[in-house]
Amino acid sequence: MTQYAASEMRATLVLASTSPRRQQLIGLLGLPVEIMPSHADEDTPEGWSPARIVEALSHRKASTVLDRASQTPGAIVVGSDTIVVLDGDVLGKPKDREDAVSMLTRLAGRGHEVYTGLCCIEAASGRAVVSHSVTRVFMRALSEDQIGRYVDSGEPMDKAGAYGIQEIGAMLVERIEGDFFTVVGLPVSMLAAQLGEFGLQLP
Per-residue pLDDT of 114-170, as tens digits, reads: 999 999 999 999 999 999 999 999 999 999 999 999 999 999 998 999 999 988 999
CATH architecture of 4-201: Alpha-Beta Complex (3.90)
Q: Residue 203 pLDDT more than 80?
A: no
Instruction: Return the bridge partners of 173, or none.
Output: 139
Quick one: which of 158, 156, 136 has its CA closest to 146?
156
Percentage of residues in the chain with pLDDT exceeding 70? Answer: 95
B/e letters for 4-17, b = 16+ CB within 10 Å, e = fewer, are eebeeeebbbbbbb
HEC sequence for the chain: CCCEEHHHCCCEEEECCCCHHHHHHHHHHCCCEEECCCCCCCCCCCCCCHHHHHHHHHHHHHHHCHHHHCCCCCEEEEEEEEEEEECCEEECCCCCHHHHHHHHHHHCCCEEEEEEEEEEEECCCCCEEEEEEEEEEEECCCCHHHHHHHHHCCHHHHCHHHCCCCCHHHHHEEEEECCHHHHHCCCHHHHHHHHHCCCEECC
Chain-wide mean pLDDT for the chain? Answer: 91
Active-site residue, selected from the candidate residues 41, 43, 67, 81: 81
81 is catalytic: yes
Per-residue pLDDT of 174-190, as tens digits, reads: 999 999 999 999 999 99
- Residue 59: pLDDT band by 50, 70, 90 thresholds? very high
- The residue extents of the domains of the chain are 4-201
